[in-house]
């Protein structure tokens, strides 16, 4: 996730473009850049770090048209070379891009053969070289020709030396047009523009726009013009930063369909370099803390089921106390921030023990990427709420992809099962959206359980870790004591804690654990505890056993933690709202824990 802006009008552009860009910093902050167009020059400045760093290095740049970018790296480290905008070999065009191009390697090879000089490791740079090659008399037709050759997601804005115009387009990455008086804008998000205009045109996929100081022309990728009236936006600036959501956590919960989509983009065909996975290890050890540890627990079930490789999951801070074994497991370190001290220490210990390591992280260039032999990025975009939500779900995606790849290498998957898994993964964004569409039902349930002092979360098999994660979200956000348990263990002690004041959330989906889960629900209701069951759509039976029921779409049981955790994230969020908790910054905890 990156942020892009563009401005063209009768005023000096530099300060306006930077002001808009600052409001997009929540979308990425590892590097930034600006390109300005004046009568006879195209000036470019970029730097590593937050936008403030770029600003501190800028001299006055002339021009009334400019584009800028704040980056959240997905291809190539956060360096000045990899920062946007990119310019072509002749310095005629500049371009900013948010998204992921899936065919950039092929395009790059062809362009290099034609003599183009690349200055970055990014996928985005191919676009500006393609533009140089594109036929057409004007910028608009050249951009359209460039886009016809690209696959993947994009929001782009392009400028040309000596022209007060911007061509912008989108496919699967957000882009809006701001309509002003004798000036017009494009941006990734309304947030960037509200200080200057509240007249917004939302572009849809495969739509493009040409803005000049006096006009806005909308067209499709074949160049066919269309009309759309601007909408008047009534948000204030603070609302806008969260795209109108009251909290970042809720925004990030709702971003999950998109985050999953981005995480899958271009990866289901198994083209990534995976030499490390072909090595002859006989077991896997997954390490992580908190939510990342829970993703690792789900990962154990996924990997064992799809690859038959024995897998254990351990809390990072405990790893050093476990004995060194003769076999050297492949060690998978999961950390969304890439900076958690316990997981970094565990990764170092794993290497000291002679193990090869894979990092699953959301932050390009973070410390874990320097510790590990191989890195898988989760592409969830920056997560600002302290409670991990979209990063957890995309960690699961990374684990499904890892298991799928290992299954192919070890030949443990029939082609039919592989096909089913791939189509199951492709459906996940839609499945999660359907859970989100029912958020108001979960909100109503939260009112009922808001006074609980303590809640239990129970599940079996893959959904035992889902119950742990549901409990963690509840305790950290709503301050209700949440306890996750394997459902079969309740009778070995914790039943003593149950009473009519202790709600129990029971994950009870239509799989081989169903009958046993019903038995566990009976045990609970016999102690008069109210049960909130999370089951599968179409199940009419569950309401006979449970006081309340949340139903999520049926998926292959392997994927069931995904829709279920989204429902439990919403439950935790609405419980916290009911209890007046601060949500995005819960007491006593930090987003990134850099001490052991
Ligand atoms: C819970 C949460 C924490 C983190 C843990 C590890 O919502 O966010 O439990 O999961 O601190 O952080 P990372 O994944 O950055 O290593």
Q: What is the pLDDT of residues 373-424, one digit of tens each?
A: 999 999 898 788 999 999 999 999 999 999 999 999 999 999 999 999 999 9
Question: Best of 253, 286, 289, 345 to mutate for ligand 1, by most ligand atoms within 8 A of CB?
Answer: 289
pLDDT reported for residue 410: 93
What's the pLDDT tens digit per position in 507-548?
A: 999 999 999 999 999 999 999 999 999 999 999 999 999 999
| pLDDT of 36 strictly over 80 | yes
Calpha distance 358→286 (Å, rounded) = 9
Q: What separation in angstroms does the CA of 128 have from each of 78, 124, 132, 209?
A: 19, 8, 6, 18
Tell the residue nearest (CA) to atom 8 of ligand 1.
Answer: 388
How does pLDDT run across 433-448, given as a tens digit for each residue?
999 999 999 999 999 9
Tell me what pLDDT residue 483 has. 96
Q: Could you tell me which residue, 100 or 334, shows the higher pLDDT?
A: 334
The pLDDT of residue 238 is: 66
Q: Which atom of ligand 1 approaches the CA of 293 most closely?
A: 10
Q: For residue 389, how far is its CA from the centre of ligand 1 (angstroms)?
A: 10
378 Cβ inside 6 Å of ligand 1: no
**pLDDT band for position 239 (cuts 50, 70, 90):** low
* Amino acid 76: pLDDT: 79
> Could you identify the atom of ligand 1 that is nearest to the CA of residue 294?
10
Q: Mean pLDDT across the stretch 282-302?
A: 98
Ligand 1, from 247, 248, 291: best to mutate by most atoms within 8 Å of Cβ?
291
Res. 498: pLDDT tops 90: yes
What's the CA gap between 467 and 487, in Å, rounded?
9
Q: Using CA positions, which residue lies closest to atom 10 of ligand 1?
A: 291
CB atoms within 10 A of CB 399: 24
- Contact 388 CB / ligand 1 (< 6 Å): yes
- Computed over every residue of the chain, the mean pLDDT equals 93
Q: How far is the CA of 291 from the centre of ligand 1 (A)?
A: 5
Q: For ligand 1, is residue 336 a contact (CB within 6 Å)?
A: yes
Place of tokens 């704040």: 70
Catalytic residue numbers? Answer: 2, 591
Spatial CB neighbours of 65, under 8 Å, sequence gap ≥ 6: 6, 7, 8, 9, 13, 36, 37, 159, 163, 164, 165, 166
Ligand 1: centre distance to CA 528 (Å): 34
């Amino acid at each position: 996730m990156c942020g892009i802006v563009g401005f063209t009008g009768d005023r000096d552009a530099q300060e306006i473009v930077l002001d808009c860009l600052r409001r997009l910093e929540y979308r990425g902050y590892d590097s930034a850049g600006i390109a300005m167009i004046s009568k006879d020059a195209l000036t470019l400045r970029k730097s590593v770090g937050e936008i403030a760093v770029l600003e501190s290095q800028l001299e006055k740049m002339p021009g009334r048209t400019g584009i800028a970018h704040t980056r959240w790296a997905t291809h190539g480290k956060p360096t000045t070379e990899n920062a946007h905008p990119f310019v072509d070999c002749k310095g005629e065009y500049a371009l900013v891009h948010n998204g992921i191009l899936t065919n950039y390697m092929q395009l790059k090879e062809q362009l290099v053969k034609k003599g183009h000089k690349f200055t970055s490791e990014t996928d985005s740079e191919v676009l500006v070289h393609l533009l140089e090659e594109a036929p057409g008399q004007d910028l608009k037709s050249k951009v359209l020709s460039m886009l016809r050759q690209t696959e993947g997601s994009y929001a782009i804005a392009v400028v040309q030396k000596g022209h007060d115009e911007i061509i912008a387009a989108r496919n699967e990455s957000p882009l809006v047009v701001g309509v002003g008086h004798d000036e017009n804008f494009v941006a990734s998000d309304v947030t960037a523009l509200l200080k200057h205009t509240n007249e917004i045109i939302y572009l849809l996929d495969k739509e493009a726009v040409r803005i000049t100081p006096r006009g806005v022309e909308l067209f499709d990728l074949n160049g066919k013009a269309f009309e759309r009236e601007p909408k008047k936006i009534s948000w204030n600036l603070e609302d806008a930063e969260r795209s109108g959501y009251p909290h970042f956590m809720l925004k990030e919960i709702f971003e999950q369909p998109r985050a999953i989509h981005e995480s899958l983009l271009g990866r289901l065909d198994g083209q990534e370099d995976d030499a490390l996975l072909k090595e002859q290890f006989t077991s896997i050890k997954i390490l992580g803390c908190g939510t990342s540890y829970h993703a690792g627990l789900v990962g154990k079930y996924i990997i064992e089921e799809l690859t038959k490789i024995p897998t254990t999951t351990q809390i990072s801070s405990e790893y050093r106390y476990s004995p060194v074994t003769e076999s050297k497991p492949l060690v998978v370190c999961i950390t969304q921030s890439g900076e958690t001290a316990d997981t970094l220490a565990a990764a170092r210990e794993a290497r000291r023990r002679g193990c090869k390591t894979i990092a699953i992280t959301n932050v390009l260039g973070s410390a874990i990427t320097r510790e590990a032999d191989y890195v898988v990025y989760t592409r969830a975009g920056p997560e600002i709420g302290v409670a991990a939500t979209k990063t957890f779900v995309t960690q699961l995606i990374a684990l499904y992809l890892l298991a799928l790849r290992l299954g192919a290498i070890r030949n443990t998957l029939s082609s039919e099962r592989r096909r089913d898994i791939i189509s199951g993964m492709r459906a996940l964004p839609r499945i999660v959206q359907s859970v989100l569409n029912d958020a108001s039902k979960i909100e109503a349930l939260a009112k009922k359980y808001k006074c609980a002092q303590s809640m239990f979360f129970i599940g079996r098999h893959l959904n035992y870790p889902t119950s742990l994660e549901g409990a963690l979200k509840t305790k950290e956000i709503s301050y209700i004591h949440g306890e996750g348990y394997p459902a079969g263990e309740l009778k070995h002690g914790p039943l003593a804690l149950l009473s009519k004041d202790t709600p129990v959330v029971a994950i009870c989906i239509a799989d081989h654990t169903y009958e046993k889960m019903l038995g566990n629900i009976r045990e609970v209701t016999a102690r008069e505890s109210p049960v909130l069951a999370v089951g599968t759509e179409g199940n009419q039976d569950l309401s006979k056993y449970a006081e309340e029921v949340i139903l999520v779409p049926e998926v292959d049981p392997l994927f069931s933690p995904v829709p279920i955790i989204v429902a439990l994230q919403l439950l935790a969020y609405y419980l916290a709202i009911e209890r007046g908790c601060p949500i995005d910054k819960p007491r006593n905890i930090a987003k990134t824990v850099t001490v052991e």
